[in-house]
């Protein structure tokens, strides 16, 4: 997709876990269709999501157990009943979940128990057509599914411990030890394959529901994968690890205005030399898989495709890291040769150097602009709408930001590193720039995004609803309460849809 091929359009950002519904967590059910109806009524062309990966400790979709697998928690419990795999009365035993938050501690054991029960019935009495379809799915996805299923079965058998803490033979994937383990854990591994079969069946229904309404899906690909993942366990040679599989270098970002010691993320870094030797086969498989699930991919931490901040694994902070160049240009050339057009959005936030800009522009990828970053008082700030280029995607805020209403109401020390005078100066500049009194600051932001020359405007649903900080999805560097916000079915109002649609019409963003 070249810059000229992007239509002038708009969309909403909402991760499926944030949907309403009876499962205690958003699911790919009729409530999703209600949201898609809202998108269509609002004149939206895009539904943007976060990574669909199954999550581990901390529940972050950016630290998934696999870059290929889907999150089984999104499988609707009602769909298991409809398939005859769980009796209806089991749903009447559903815990009393909160409607506005995901209580992962309650949802995970309940949903896992239902899925385990469903697999037992499937294994015992599934119709032949289902078995054939399941076997065909396992064969088609074998290049990642077998490793993932074995990883999950072994992780469960070892009390959830990271793979690096398993017995050495299993940690190192000794063929004889792995075969012996799977003789005992084969049904457990098959259960994880079954959950993926259910997830991808459900996701394809969701995609068809999107297509019926003319909605395209923007997915998300984190540049790095979690250390405790099937990806690293099964592909140790592609990462900078020692002989026992522990990282020698990890990812992060250097010290800056916001942190004197930088950010120590801890993800293992790729051995790009090894990846280049086979033509970046793992990355091509990852993108091929993702392009089957979504229409457009947002590449997170795009600057890492030009250079990564490498930190010694034993370092206490990110301060001792250094920039190491990465072969992003060769990688994207391989992608272009394989896939042709590359419908990719570059998440180019932060301090971006000329080599990153050149990499983005040479491949025609639109970069990101975030309105919440715009109001420092510098009229040359690239996030101010009058400085945009057409080949860009503008956001009022992202999943890592406070909501727009929350941002406008922020105070020192409450999710903010800014001083009181800085906050008020920023607010005053914002009001002057938007010609706003701040009473409906979220709508002022949406109007500014839609009015800009950027070909795409994306708004988190929380901003369209005018929510305050209670609607925040993630507070970086915090460990609790993230990824849990949920909307309600009554939030999808005709009045909100009409207001969004009118702005889309006024600024030429309605679907053609």
Q: Which residues are catalytic?
A: 300, 347, 400
The phi-psi region of residue 475 (left if phi > 0; otherwise alpha if psi is between -120 and 50; otherwise beta) is beta
CA 495/CA 488 separation, integer angstroms: 15
Report which DSSP code applies to 91: H
> Is residue 104 classed as helix, strand or coil in its secondary structure?
helix
How far apart, in Å, do the first and last CA atoms of the chain sit? 18
Closest CA to 226 of 347, 51, 25: 51
Beta pairing, strands 9-13 & 392-395: unpaired
Q: What is the largest CA-CA distance in the chain?
A: 70
CA 120/CA 190 separation, integer angstroms: 11
Q: Which two tokens stand for residue 344?
A: 């990719």
CA 66/CA 145 separation, integer angstroms: 10
CA 507/CA 447 separation, integer angstroms: 9
Centroid of chain to Cα 198: 20
Beta pairing, strands 296-299 & 344-346: parallel
The CA radius of gyration of the chain, in Å to the nearest whole number, is: 23
| H helix or E strand, kind and range, residue 459 | strand 456-460
Q: Which two tokens stand for residue 73?
A: 């928690």
CB 364 within 8 A of CB 391: yes
The residues, any chain, with a CB within 8 Å of residue 68's CB and separated by 6 or more, are 141, 144, 145, 148, 231, 286, 289
Main-chain dihedrals φ then ψ at residue 325, nearest 5 degrees? -65, 145
Closest CA to 354 of 306, 387, 298, 390: 306
């Amino acid at each position: 997709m070249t810059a000229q091929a992007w239509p002038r359009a708009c969309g909403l950002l909402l991760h499926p876990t944030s949907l309403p519904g009876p499962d205690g967590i958003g699911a790919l059910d009729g409530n999703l269709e209600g949201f898609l109806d809202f998108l269509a009524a609002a004149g939206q062309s895009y539904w943007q999501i976060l990574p669909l990966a199954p999550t581990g400790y901390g529940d972050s979709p950016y630290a998934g157990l696999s870059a290929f697998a889907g999150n089984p928690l999104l499988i609707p419990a009602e769909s298991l009943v409809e398939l005859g795999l769980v009796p209806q009365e089991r749903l009447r035993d559903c815990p009393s979940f909160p409607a506005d938050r995901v209580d992962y501690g309650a949802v995970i054991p309940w949903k896992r128990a239902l899925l385990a029960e469903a697999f037992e019935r499937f294994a015992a009495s599934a119709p032949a057509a289902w078995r054939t379809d399941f076997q065909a799915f396992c064969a088609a996805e074998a290049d990642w599914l077998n490793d993932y299923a074995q990883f999950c079965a072994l992780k469960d058998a070892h009390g959830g411990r990271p793979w690096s803490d398993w017995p050495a033979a299993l940690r190192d994937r000794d063929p004889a030890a792995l075969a012996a383990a799977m003789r005992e854990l084969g049904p457990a591994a098959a259960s994880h394959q079954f959950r993926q079969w259910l997830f991808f069946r459900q996701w394809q229904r969701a995609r068809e529901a999107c297509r019926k309404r003319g909605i395209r899906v923007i997915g998300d690909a984190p540049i790095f994968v979690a250390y405790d993942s099937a990806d690293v366990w099964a592909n140790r040679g592609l990462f900078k690890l020692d002989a026992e599989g522990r990282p020698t270098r990890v990812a992060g970002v250097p010290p800056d205005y916001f942190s004197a010691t930088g950010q120590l993320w801890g993800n293992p870094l790729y051995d790009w030399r090894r990846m280049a030797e086979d033509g970046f086969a793992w990355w091509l498989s990852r993108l091929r898989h993702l392009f089957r699930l979504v229409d457009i991919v947002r590449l997170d931490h795009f600057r890492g495709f030009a250079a990564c901040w490498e930190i010694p694994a034993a370092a206490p902070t990110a301060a001792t890291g250094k920039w190491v160049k990465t072969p992003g240009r060769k990688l994207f050339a391989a992608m272009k040769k394989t896939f042709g057009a590359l419908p990719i959005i570059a998440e180019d936030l932060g301090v971006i150097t000329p080599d990153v800009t050149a990499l983005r522009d040479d491949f025609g990828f639109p970069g990101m602009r975030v309105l919440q970053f715009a109001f420092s008082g510098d009229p040359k700030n690239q996030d101010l709408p009058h400085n945009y280029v057409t080949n860009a995607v503008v956001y009022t805020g992202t999943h890592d930001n406070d909501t727009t209403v929350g941002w406008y109401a922020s105070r020192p020390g409450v999710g903010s590193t800014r001083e009181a005078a800085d906050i008020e100066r920023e607010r005053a500049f914002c009001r002057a720039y938007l010609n706003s009194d701040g009473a409906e600051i979220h709508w002022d932001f949406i109007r500014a995004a839609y009015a800009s020359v950027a070909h795409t405007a994306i708004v988190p649903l929380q901003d369209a609803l005018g929510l305050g900080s209670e609607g925040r999805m993630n507070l970086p560097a915090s460990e609790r309460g993230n990824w849990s916000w949920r909307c309600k079915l009554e939030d999808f109002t005709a009045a909100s849809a009409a207001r969004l649609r009118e702005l889309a019409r006024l600024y030429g963003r309605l679907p053609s």
